[in-house]
Amino acid sequence: VSVAGSLFVFAENGIWRISGGDSVFSATSYVAEKLSSNGCVSSDSVVMVQDSLYYWGEEAIYLVARNEFGIWQVQNISESKIQEFYRLIPLERKKSCSGVYDGYDRTVRWVYNTGKTTEVESKELRLSVPFGSFVPYSVPDNVGGLPKVISVGEVNPYTASDATFDVTVG
């Protein structure tokens, strides 16, 4: 993800920031800085809010942002709030997580439990950015377990329209 003149790389084994250092970024002049060993379990969980990034790791939800000195850092934002709740989410469900920022509500919305079975209802976890609070939701299934929420997307809250998306099974 490109933010504020830097390229952020989210991998299972850590988070890196690639920039030009003190000069302009180029193919021959760049600096790679490892920000954290706490990697990302789902590339779709990475959500950009202004100049900050949120993502799901195996053990926690993290925020990548500049501190008061302008230095990029990774912070565990679920630790003091929903850590036990988050740990109870199975890893396979975390890997299927899909997130988006809702600028109208100023919330980050992550949908998970998007497995291919009809046995488990879809779940959503919302983060209120101004308050730093989390709210879990469940999306009840209809008869036969369908339809099922499989992803989230950003739309203008003041626009009414129809959209068609191709879905590939398997």
Structure confidence by residue, pLDDT tens digits, 137-161:
887 766 666 666 766 766 666 667 7
- The pLDDT score that the predictor gives to residue 67 is 92
- The pLDDT score that the predictor gives to residue 136 is 92
- The pLDDT score that the predictor gives to residue 20 is 81
pLDDT in tens, 67-111: 999 899 999 999 989 999 999 999 988 998 999 999 888 999 999
Mean pLDDT of 125-133: 94
pLDDT in tens, 5-28: 888 999 999 999 998 866 666 677
Q: Which of 5, 125, 8 minimizes the C-alpha distance to 64? A: 8
Mean pLDDT of 122-140: 89
Separation in Å, CA 53 to CA 45, 74, 134:
10, 9, 16
Does residue 47 surpass a pLDDT of 80?
yes
Under 8 Å between Cβ of 55 and 17: no
Does residue 131 surpass a pLDDT of 80?
yes
Under 8 Å between Cβ of 77 and 110: no
Does residue 118 surpass a pLDDT of 60?
no
- pLDDT bracket for residue 64 (50, 70, 90): very high
